[in-house]
Amino acid sequence: MNQIDQLKAVFTECGISAALEVVGERWSFLILRGAFNGLHHFEEFQSTLGIARNILSNRLTRLVEHGILRRDPDPDDRRKVAYRLTEKGRDLLPVLLSLRQWGERWVSGLPSNPVLVDRLGRRPIMVTVHAEDGRPLSLGDMEWVDRADLGKDAAA
Amino acid sequence: MNQIDQLKAVFTECGISAALEVVGERWSFLILRGAFNGLHHFEEFQSTLGIARNILSNRLTRLVEHGILRRDPDPDDRRKVAYRLTEKGRDLLPVLLSLRQWGERWVSGLPSNPVLVDRLGRRPIMVTVHAEDGRPLSLGDMEWVDRADLGKDAAA
DNA sequence: GCAAAGGGTTGCGTTATGAAACTCAGTGGG
DNA sequence: CCCACTGAGTTTCATAACGCAACCCTTTGC
């Protein structure tokens, strides 16, 4: 098995590397953040993010190819194209939110604006790591287990 | 201030871009994944990830500079250096896990190995987005609110 | 018909990434 | 003490990704 095959194996066997292959390039996350914030059009992304037009074009195309965004031409104005999150894209919300939570806590220091709130309680939503029964967990409460031993352990 | 200008302001100070400055480069997440999986040494990262040595060197240095990893020379063998997650680094777990969850579901299709389980229940842990009271939320249950309006709304 | 808007491309220079070879202190065995 | 080997990097040079500015082509509004 050569170097390339090894790399390829790494890329396909782990969910993290699989995900990064699709959304790991520079700007991808920021474009998605924009999409979650209600941006739809090329010019909106370009002017709010300040990204180079060729790169933006490239990323949007890639995100569409990977089924994360949909490209909807506007029937009323045929110059316009709306990029919208698919379900696959919307399902990246936990990634974006946890990244934001971390960035606010450890890098920028200050909570950013606007805040995503629960429509009912009108309190900020949160991302947590927890057990199936809902108990919140920290790293010390977890351990790595070979998948093959999972059922076995649970049964034991 | 129109919507776009608002977003533009938001974006420069957003936790997501802050986070990406630090961990957004290629390989950073994979190195962190390795660290969470118990890798500590340069050679371990290099051989398991297949990353170029110069890049690995560069990333490790950056992650140390940003306080995500600690660089501990081994007192018993002065050739060895152990890279360990700091609290700031460990706090990236939700990001890594949600990324992995997404990658497994939407890209690789299959669950990867090993699995992080709850030490007590010995069941896989999970990452979710939810309200303060624990209710799981989907995008439709949330809305963006200006932080200044938060208390106001809650009081109203 | 003409200017402007929207969504891109093209060309070209700069940075980032990658492969392979090289360094160099430290260690372990004979 | 000598030599092979290990661990953790550096250096060199080629290639890919990124960024800027300018350009292009439809579609619209007037």
Q: Helix or strand or coil: residue A121?
A: coil
Distance of alpha carbon A65 from alpha carbon A72, whole angstroms: 13
CA of A76 to C1' of D1 (A): 87
Position A151 scores a pLDDT of 67
pLDDT digits (tens, 9 = 90+) for A102-124: 999 999 887 777 888 999 989 98
Exposure of B132 in the CB half-sphere (CA atoms within 13 A): 9
pLDDT of residue A14: 87
Least confident interval from A144-148, B10-14, B49-53, B66-70 = B10-14
Cβ contact, residue pair A96, B128, below 8 Å = no
Q: Check pLDDT > 80 for residue B152.
A: no
Q: Which of residues 56-115 of B touch strand D (CB under 7 A)?
A: 57, 60, 71, 79-82
Asked if residue B73 has pLDDT above 50, the reply is yes
Chain B residues whose beta carbon lies within 8 Å of the beta carbon of residue A132: 118, 121, 123-126
On average, the pLDDT of chain B sits at: 88
Q: In chain B, whose CA is at the least distance from the CA of A8? A: B50
pLDDT single digits (tens) B97-117: 999 999 999 998 888 888 889
Are the CB atoms for A141 and B122 separated by under 8 Å? no
Domain boundaries, chain A: 1-89, 92-156
Q: What mean pLDDT is predicted for residues B70-74?
A: 98
SS3 B80: coil
Residues of B in contact with A115 (CB under 8 A): 144-147, 150
pLDDT at site A152: 57
Would you call A142 and B97 a contact, using CB atoms and an 8 Å cutoff? no
Q: Which residues of B touch A122 (CB under 8 A)?
A: 145, 150, 153-154
Q: What pLDDT does B12 receive?
A: 58
Tokens of A5: 């095959």
pLDDT band at B151 (very low <50, low <70, confident <90, very high): low
pLDDT reported for residue B148: 81
State how far the Cα of A100 lies from the Cα of A105, in Å rounded to an integer: 8
Residue type, A4: I
The reported pLDDT for the residue numbered A150 is: 77
Tell if the CB–CB gap between B134 and A134 is shorter than 8 Å.
yes
Q: For B14, which residue in chain A has the nearest alpha carbon? A: A112
Task: Given CATH 1.10.10.10, say whether it is the number of domain B1-91.
Answer: yes
Q: What is the pLDDT of residues A13-43, one digit of tens each?
A: 789 999 999 999 999 999 999 999 999 999 9
Least confident of A53-67, A84-98, B142-156: B142-156
Residue nearest to nucleotide C18 (CA to C1'): B52
Which residue, counting CA atoms, is nearest to the C1' of nucleotide D8? Answer: B42
Asked if the Cβ–Cβ distance from A105 to B91 is below 8 Å, we say yes
User: Between residues A141 and A3, which one has the greater pLDDT?
Assistant: A141
Looking at domain A1-89, its CATH class is: mainly alpha
What's the pLDDT at A146? Answer: 84
Q: Vertex A57, ends A21 and A79: CA angle to 5°?
A: 140
